[in-house]
Amino acid sequence: MVADSERGLIVSVADAEGRFELRDVEPGRWIAAREEGYLDSLCTALEGAPGESIERVLELAAGGARLRGRVLDRAGTPVARAAVMAGLSNQGPMRRALP
């Protein structure tokens, strides 16, 4: 288990059986799992009293597609530092591209 104070994270690595343990986690934190080749698990809120032992199962789904491409303006010039997002909605910044 490692504390990443810069990002406020407590990190543990699952063993060969998928088991993990995080200690001294205050209520109100969220927990999630990630591993290369898999989609991240959903975030789950931790609720419990100090000293209480909480058990959670975090599920990772098979990985999604890897996308590569270029961001160009209408003149075909590359746009450096443009944010590229993948989401579940076509609203807001996730509008559909026109054919």
Question: How far is the CA of 14 from the CAs of 21, 57, 59, 96, in angstroms?
Answer: 8, 12, 12, 38
Distance CA 28, CA 50 (A): 12
* 78, two tokens: 């590359």
Cβ atoms of 81 and 68 closer than 8 Å: no
In this prediction the pTM is 0.57
Read off the pLDDT of each residue in 35-39 and give the average, rounded to a whole number: 88
54-85 pLDDT tens trace: 888 999 988 877 788 999 999 999 999 998 87
CA atoms of 33 and 10, how far apart (whole Å): 12
Q: Which residues make beta-bridge pairs with 45?
A: 30
